[in-house]
């Protein structure tokens, strides 16, 4: 759940992730090896993907991390099935200004690794199935960015979901705002998790409020960013789900406890904290963990939360996975580990022994199966163990 120690380390995931969000141009110097190039596998749904980034401001809430800021500002991205978007530019995996700052924070020079663009076309018209689309919110791990879930998010969009990813400003390592301003974590990383959970819960509830403004015909953002054609009519706010990785998973549970608008939630190797541990939930919830230290076997709070779930519930354990197997890290880290001098043991501690393509296959299949079931009422993957995923253990 904690990226703070990783961000302060010269090896391990912090350096690895710093190498990931790359500066916009990488030129090899004489004698320097060519940069390693990475691009996420294409989503496998039937629809192309569109996306738009929006700047939001909660003027009723001073920023809890930086009191001198009179309001709480967030950046979100909306991902959706598109039509006719091939002529529009694909957005980068992380905004270049945030990527540059992220590199500087960890002391890694630019130009060593190139992460290509996403498969999301900026501002493309909304397409996909007819009628409003089910909405899914995504919250990343502590000290992470909304970019780290892009592989799962754009695959969901390619299958007809509208997905909203949220950067929790001053919790995330670096957030780029319009005009080139970049905000970083003033403390160098999250350490007060109770506060972070409360702030994130308020963030998600505010995002839901702004989505309601968008659905009713208003503009949700600070600036009049052009909205993709068809976006307003594409949100079905009666069918809202949420998922997150690590602290984002705990945020999903905590937000569902305080806000009934979210009707189904998934936690990818996240814990549970706050009132929801004892109160539980009466709506569908999927707990995904690993056999390691963060799993339910070794987390009393997560076991207590599980015992108080009163709605549909499922606990999946992914054999061979580790904490960073749930996100784009699972593919990025093995690619760049040699550049970091990471030993096989170091790498295994981060991403486990599960092959990257299997980690990616799980990420794409199971969250979508959960939201298909509980937001669309279809699908059978979650009925029981699947021969297509022998590494996944089921418990109810």
Secondary structure in 3-state letters for 346-372 = HHHHHHCCCCHHHHHHHHHHHHHHHHH
Model pLDDT, residue 332? 79
pLDDT (0 to 100) of residue 294? 66
Is 27 within a domain? no
CB within 8 Å of 387: residues ≥ 6 apart: none
In a domain? residue 291: yes
* 245 belongs to a structural domain: yes
Amino acid 295: pLDDT: 82
Give me the number of domains the chain comprises: 1
Contacts of 236 (CB under 8 A, 6+ apart): 131, 132, 133, 134, 135
Checking if the pLDDT of 35 tops 90, the result is no
Chain segment 85-102, per-residue pLDDT in tens? 777 899 999 888 887 777
Residue 25 domain flag: no
Mean pLDDT, residues 247-273: 97
User: pLDDT tens across 199-245, in order?
Assistant: 999 999 999 999 999 999 999 999 788 999 999 999 999 999 999 99
pLDDT at position 187:
82
pTM score, whole prediction: 0.91
Residue 211: which CATH number? Answer: 3.40.50.1820
Structural domain including 320 reads 4-19+38-395
Do the domain assignments include residue 31? Answer: no
Any domain includes 183: yes
Contact present, 353 and 330 (Cβ < 8 Å): no
Residue 353 lies in a domain: yes
Structural domain includes residue 119: yes
Question: Picking from 41-45, 110-114, 117-121, 301-305, which range would have the lowest pLDDT averaged per residue?
Answer: 110-114
Residue 73 has, within 13 A of its CA and on its CB side, a CA count of: 18
Q: Report d(CA 393, CA 30) in Å as an integer.
A: 50
d(CA 285, CA 277) in angstroms, rounded, equals 13
What is d(CA 123, CA 143) in angstroms, rounded to the nearest whole number?
28
């Amino acid at each position: 759940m904690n990226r703070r120690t990783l961000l302060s380390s010269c090896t391990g995931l912090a350096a690895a992730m710093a190498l990931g969000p790359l500066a916009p141009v990488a030129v090899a110097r004489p004698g320097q090896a060519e940069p390693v190039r990475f691009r996420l596998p294409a989503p496998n749904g039937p629809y192309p993907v569109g996306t738009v980034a929006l700047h939001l401001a909660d003027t009723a809430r001073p920023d809890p991390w930086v009191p001198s800021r009179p309001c709480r500002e967030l950046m979100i991205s909306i991902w959706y099935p598109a039509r006719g978007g091939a002529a529009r530019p694909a957005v980068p995996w992380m905004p270049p200004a945030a990527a540059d700052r992220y590199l500087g924070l960890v002391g890694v020079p630019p130009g060593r690794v190139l992460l290509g663009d996403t498969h999301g076309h900026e501002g493309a018209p909304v397409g996909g199935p007819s009628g409003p689309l089910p909405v899914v919110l995504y919250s990343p791990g502590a000290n992470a960015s909304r970019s780290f879930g892009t592989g799962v998010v754009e695959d969901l969009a390619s299958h007809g979901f509208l997905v909203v990813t949220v950067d929790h400003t001053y919790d995330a390592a670096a957030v780029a705002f319009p005009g080139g301003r970049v905000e970083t974590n003033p403390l160098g990383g999250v350490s007060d998790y109770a506060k972070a959970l409360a702030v994130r819960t308020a963030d998600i509830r505010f995002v839901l409020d702004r989505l309601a403004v968008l659905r009713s015909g208003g503009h949700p953002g600070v600036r009049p960013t052009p909205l993709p054609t068809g976006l307003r009519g594409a949100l079905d706010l009666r069918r809202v789900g949420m998922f997150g990785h690590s602290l984002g998973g705990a945020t999903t549970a905590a937000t569902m406890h305080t806000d009934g608008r979210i009707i189904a939630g998934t936690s990818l190797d996240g814990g549970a904290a706050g009132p929801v541990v004892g109160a539980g939930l009466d709506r569908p919830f999927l707990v995904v963990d690993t056999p390691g230290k963060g799993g339910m076997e070794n987390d009393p709070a997560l076991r207590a939360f599980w015992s108080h779930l009163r709605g549909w519930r499922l606990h999946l354990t992914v054999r061979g996975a580790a904490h960073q197997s749930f996100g784009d890290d699972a593919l990025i880290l093995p690619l760049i580990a040699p550049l970091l001098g990471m030993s096989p043991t170091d790498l295994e501690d981060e991403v486990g022994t599960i092959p990257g393509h299997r980690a990616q296959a799980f990420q794409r299949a199971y969250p979508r199966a959960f939201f298909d079931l509980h937001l669309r009422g279809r699908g059978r993957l979650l009925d029981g163990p699947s021969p297509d995923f022998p590494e996944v253990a089921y418990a109810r």
